[in-house]
Amino acid sequence: MSMSRKILKMNRISNPTKFLLNCLGALVATAVMLLSPNRSFAQPTPTGASCADAIPFCTGTTYVFPNSTNATPAPGGLGYQCLASQPNPIWYYMKIANPGTLQITVNQYNAAMNGLDVDFAMWGPFNSLAEACVMINAGTPAIQSSYSAASTETVGIGLPGGVGAGVGCATTPPAALTGQYYVLLLTNFSNQPGTFQFSQTAGTATTDCSIITCGVTLSSNSPICAGDTMRLFVDNTNEPEYTYSYIWEGTNGFTSTDKEPVIANLAPGNYHYQVYAIAHLANNEYDTCIEEIDVVVNPVFETVIDEYICSGDSFFWYDHYISTAGTYDSLFHTVTGCDSLVRTNLHVIQRPERIDMLDSIIACQYDSVPLESNTLPYNPGYTYNWSPGTNLSATNQPNVWFAADASRTYILTVTNTEDGISCSLKDTIDVIVNPGDFLQVPITDTGICPTETVHIIASGAHTYEWSPSTYLDDAYSSSPKATPHTSTLYTLIGTSEKGCTDTQTVMITVHPGATMELPDFVNIYQGEVYQFTPLTNASFFKWFPDAGLSNTEIANPKLTATVDTRYFVTARTEHGCEATDSIDVWVKETVMDMPNAFNPNQTQFKAEMRGIARLESFEIYNRWGQKVFETQNIEQGWDGYLNGVPQPMGVYIYKIEATTIEGKAFKKTGNVTLVR
């Protein structure tokens, strides 16, 4: 298979010697003949004299074209916009490949490389060149133009371009889309001989170079097989009208001046060649076209394949199965036409033959159980894998320990690996796990008060054994009664009918007993308030009866008693331990008396009393018989003043009459000494 591609059309080579020396330094002799500039074109190239005969171009390279002089101006009346005159016109067109913005810089200069005035107009976008010419000839206005005196002009699509004020002069047309055509008219205002040069200088769009043709087509006898001869062919529609020279270059530094080279001894691979087709024109001028081609050299294979199977397996080799180690050859005619030898080396890897281990094993939950195996024939290079690996001590050993948690099937895979090929054998073992958590003890942590008994209940086992047996009525019962004196942790070992054991613990905490200590009795008087102060470790209390008590649910309520009463209190700790005590409250009759001296700086002079009484009269006289104080309020006393004047120290006479709450009269007359 070969592929011919056009990569560049060069309608003019201003310095062909330099060009060919750079490309093919070894071919100097051929290049010498290309010394003078050209003005003619051997290829069947459009003249550019009109829109219909526009010259195709693409922006992938810099183009150099001769300008036009003394030529017929472009047709009048078209939409040239700012291009006020159209002398010496040359029409070009391009087709968009990849969409985006595009900017083309156009220059015109003479043989001395001095700039010449260049002007332009651009139309587009169109769907084809034919459509473009119809619409341009119908007067469609240019989308951009310039009539400046500059030798350099900027053409823009999606980017700024053109010069001048007005529609279609200095503009920024929309960005180009794939497949759109644009027509470009260049004019030579000064009518001086020279050269147009233009190339893409900005933007993201690319143009389609397939619209450029030069009449040269390449072909080959590709694909060929390694060892065959590659032939490159040229079909040139311009021969024999023009005489051509050919210069080839290609992969691995290949060069040739033959029109149709013959290349021998190519190694397998892909090759790329390009030819410079150089037309010899009149007046020692030249025209050059470049074409390229890709060719393929297919290998002649001698393939060695190593195949591996495990003993007992077979390998499908083309039309039958083989299972014996050895070398097997086959000759094939491949799709590339090149014969190939395929040599198959079959290797047979020994597979383990037998795994000896139990089919099943019975265990109790939480036991450690050995899973053991023995693989034959013996091979120290075996690798092992237990699956699943749940609760196994290892997964890559022939013998492992299983921490019994639940019934499960384990698969042991024994593998022999040689030359990177693994051959395996599998076996299974069923592990049946009887429950180990069958014991049920509803209460595992409880507390009691001293001397109390707790009934421990267990179920789920076949037999039971408690330890320690201290304070238990039956250490082998499922429901013993315990009366421990101190906090005790009991351990129960239960055995199931399957012979599995389970363990539970019961913590019995003996809380401190409640204490409550009150005096046997207390004497109080009418009107007095007494507060109980028991010695206790309890937190909750209940007093009975509630008569005269400020609160029946605290440790130290206040009491206002009127009759003799026995009070009972029940005290309870935060753990519920209780204690009970009682106290007798004796209510005494009111007693009264009078002091024989007082200091008004410290106290008042009045009756001393325990109980309740009503004052009939209370009078005090000095030694001259003058009354210095009187009251009927038993709570009021004399402060040692008379009409705001402190009385002197000395002896005063008092007289008091009162009646107690019990109805008894209290009368007394006596002396009291006032001291300060």
Of the ranges 55-69, 303-317, 428-442, which one carries the lowest mean pLDDT score? 55-69
The residue whose two tokens read 């290079």 is 381
Residue 447 has pLDDT above 50, yes or no: yes
pLDDT of residue 317: 85
Distance CA 167, CA 238 (A): 44
Q: State the pLDDT at residue 288.
A: 73
Per DSSP, the residues of 287-355 read EEEEEEEEEEEE---EEEEEEEEETT--EEETTEEE-S-EEEEEEEE-TTS-EEEEEEEEEEEPPP-EE
Residue 558 sits at φ, ψ, to 5 deg, of -95, 145
pLDDT band at 336 (very low <50, low <70, confident <90, very high): confident
- The one-letter amino acid code at 192 reads Q
**Tens digit of pLDDT for each residue in 514-532?**
999 999 999 999 889 999 9
Strand 224-225 to strand 286-298: parallel, antiparallel, or no bridges (unpaired)?
parallel
Residues 1-44+213-294: name the CATH superfamily: Immunoglobulins (2.60.40.10)
User: What share of the chain in percent tops pLDDT 70?
Assistant: 92
* The domain defined by 359-434 carries CATH number 2.40.30.10: no
Residue 632 vs residue 44, higher pLDDT: 632
> Could you report the per-residue pLDDT of 11-23, keeping only the tens digit for each?
333 333 333 333 3
CATH of domain 516-588: 2.60.40.10
Q: Residue 2: its pLDDT value, please? A: 45
Domain coordinates of the chain in residue numbers? 1-44+213-294, 45-208, 302-349, 359-434, 445-510, 516-588, 591-674
Q: What is the pLDDT of residue 262?
A: 95
Mean pLDDT, rounded, for 548-574: 94
Taking the C-alpha atoms of residue 4 and residue 235, their distance in angstroms, rounded to an integer, is 11
Beta-bridge mates of residue 631: 618
- Tallying the residues shown for the chain, one arrives at 676
The yes-or-no verdict on residue 286 having pLDDT over 70 is no
Which tens digit of pLDDT belongs to each residue from 86-115?
999 999 999 999 999 999 999 999 999 999
Average of per-residue pLDDT across 509-515: 94
Q: Mind listing the pLDDT tens digit for each residue in 241-259?
A: 778 899 999 999 999 999 9
State the pLDDT confidence band at 508, using cuts at 50, 70 and 90: very high
Whether the upstream peptide bond of residue 545 has omega within 30° of 0, thus cis, is yes
- Cα separation, 294 vs 271, whole angstroms: 6
Q: How confident is the model at residue 50 (pLDDT cuts 50, 70, 90)?
A: very high
pLDDT at 41 over 50: no
Q: Give the model's confidence band at 45: pLDDT under 50 very low, under 70 low, under 90 confident, else very high.
A: low
Q: If pLDDT is split at 50, 70 and 90, which confidence band does 65 have?
A: confident
Q: With a cut of 90, say whether residue 37 has pLDDT above it.
A: no
> Is residue 423 within 8 Å of 351, Cβ to Cβ?
yes
Please state, in angstroms and rounded to a whole number, the distance separating the CA atoms of residues 441 and 457: 6
Q: How many CB atoms lie within 10 A of CB 443?
A: 13
pLDDT tens digits for range 312-326: 899 988 888 999 999
- The residue with tokens 């007394």 is 668
Residue 26, pLDDT score: 33
Instruction: Tell me what pLDDT residue 281 has.
Output: 66
User: Among 296-300, 406-410, 552-556, where is mean pLDDT lowest?
Assistant: 296-300
The number of angstroms, rounded, from the C-alpha of 27 to the middle of its chain's C-alpha atoms is: 63
Does pLDDT of 10 surpass 60? no
Is 591-674 the same fold as 45-208?
no
Q: Which CATH class is domain 45-208?
A: mainly beta
Q: Average pLDDT for residues 403-419, to the nearest whole number? A: 94
Cis? peptide before 223, omega within 30° of 0: yes
State the pLDDT at residue 4.
Answer: 41
Q: Which CATH class is domain 445-510?
A: mainly beta
- Average pLDDT, rounded, for the chain: 88
| DSSP per-residue codes, 90-149 | EEEEEEEEE-B-EEEEEEEE-TT--B--EEEEEEEEESSHHHHHHHHHTTPPPSEEE--S
Both structure tokens of 353 = 């033959």
Does position 213 have pLDDT exceeding 80, yes or no? Answer: no
Residue-wise pLDDT tens digits, 483-498: 999 999 999 999 999 9
pLDDT at 396: 96
DSSP 8-state symbol, 510: E
Confidence tier at 70 by pLDDT (50, 70, 90): very high
Looking at per-residue pLDDT, the higher value among 605 and 44 belongs to 605
What does the alpha-carbon distance between residue 437 and residue 501 come to, in Å, rounded to a whole number?
A: 8
Confidence of residue 301 (pLDDT cuts 50, 70, 90): confident
Domain 591-674: top CATH class: mainly beta
pTM over 0.85: no
